[in-house]
């Protein structure tokens, strides 16, 4: 909806009326009592949220199914660890052994770990110690992707083996795998100075509001955090970002109640980028 940008100099109230008249009736019903409280940019953003809630947008994230267990894993470069959920019948009887902080003041309960052999496709039968934690879905995280040197190819929607995968003859050391090492990739935009987490597990690309920005939270939520709490949105901000490649990438980022700027799956998929955690880089795959 935000593509219907107001003309420069047009009075905000007049544009809101014209914009409102072009919205679908279902969205008009939701927005009718909000026209006076929000700017035209905010009204357009709220309309986008409602549209996404009513008509689920395409999910550009990469999922791979383990052929052994049937588990549907989200490939999430923004998660430090690979995680599975507690078995549904045991969740209420489990006691957390620790908590993992993923944002300021936000934590996830951890119940232990489990060694699994996962079959992710040709030549990708791999053994790993997965954390058992309260998350929305099973995750192949940055620890696994880095150890086995797997690149996330958003152009071909697959994992690419960069070199011979190490053969694990012995059990993996839990202490080694779940150490304090963070294999997630962060890249500084040379224009804005923002340090972006390259997060293939995030549907959309987000930036936090700046300390000097006084923005009103919007009354709808379409995203949830890792512990399933809602993520507040404030609006959009258009940025041209330079992430160490040979070109600039223009993008409308969502301003949200988060701590770390995120380059999400929408951005990575749109530009056909690949995420190489072991090589610590993004790159464009020019081959078909």
User: pLDDT for 49-99, tens place per residue?
Assistant: 999 988 889 999 999 999 999 999 999 999 999 999 998 777 777 888 888
User: Does any domain span residue 233?
Assistant: yes
Give the burial class of 198: count Cβ atoms within 10 A of its Cβ; 0-12 exposed, 13-18 middle, 19 or more buried: buried
Are residues 31 and 124 both part of a single domain?
A: no
Q: Across the chain, what does the average pLDDT equal?
A: 86
Residue 4 placed within a domain: no
**What is the residue range of 261's domain?**
186-284
Phi-psi region of 112 (alpha: psi -120 to 50; beta: other; left: phi over 0): left
Who wins on pLDDT, 239 or 39? 239
Share of the chain above pLDDT 70, in %: 87
Residue-wise pLDDT tens digits, 85-94: 998 777 777 8
Q: 225: buried, middle or exposed (CB in 10 Å: 19+, 13-18, 0-12)?
A: middle
5 in any annotated domain = no
The pLDDT tens digits of the residues spanning 169-211 come to: 444 554 455 556 899 999 999 999 999 999 999 999 999 998 8
Domain end residue (candidates: 138, 160, 177)? 177
Q: Residue 258 sits in a domain of what CATH number?
A: 2.40.70.10
Is 270 found in the same domain as 212? yes
Would 1 be classed as within a structural domain? no
C-beta separation of 94 from 79 below 8 A: no
């Amino acid at each position: 909806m935000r593509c219907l940008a107001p003309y420069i100099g047009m009075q905000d109230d007049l544009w809101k009326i014209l914009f409102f008249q072009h919205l679908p009736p279902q969205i008009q019903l939701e927005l009718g009592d909000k026209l006076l409280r929000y700017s035209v940019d905010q009204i357009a953003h709220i309309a986008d949220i409602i549209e996404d809630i009513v008509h689920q947008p395409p999910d550009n994230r990469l999922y791979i199914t383990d052929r052994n267990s049937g588990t549907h894993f989200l490939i999430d470069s923004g998660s430090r660890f690979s995680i599975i959920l507690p078995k549904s019948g045991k969740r209420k009887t489990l006691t957390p052994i620790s908590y993992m902080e993923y944002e300021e003041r936000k934590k996830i309960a951890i119940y232990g770990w489990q060694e699994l052999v996962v079959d992710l496709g040709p030549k990708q039968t791999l053994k790993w110690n997965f954390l058992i934690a309260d998350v929305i879905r099973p995750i192949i995280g940055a620890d696994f992707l880095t150890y086995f040197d797997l690149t996330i190819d958003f152009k071909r929607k697959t994992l690419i083996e960069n070199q011979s995968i190490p053969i694990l003859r012995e059990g993996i050391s839990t202490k080694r795998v779940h150490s304090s090492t963070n294999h997630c990739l962060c890249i500084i935009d040379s224009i804005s100075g923002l340090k972006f987490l390259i997060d293939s597990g995030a549907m959309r690309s987000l930036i936090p509001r700046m300390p000097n920005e006084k923005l009103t939270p919007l009354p709808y939520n379409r995203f949830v955090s890792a512990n399933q709490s809602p993520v507040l949105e404030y609006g959009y901000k258009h940025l041209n970002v330079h992430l160490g490649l040979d070109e600039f990438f223009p993008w409308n980022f969502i301003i949200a109640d988060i701590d770390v700027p995120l380059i999400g799956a929408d951005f990575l998929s749109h530009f056909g980028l690949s995420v190489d955690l072991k090589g610590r880089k993004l790159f464009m795959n020019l081959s078909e």
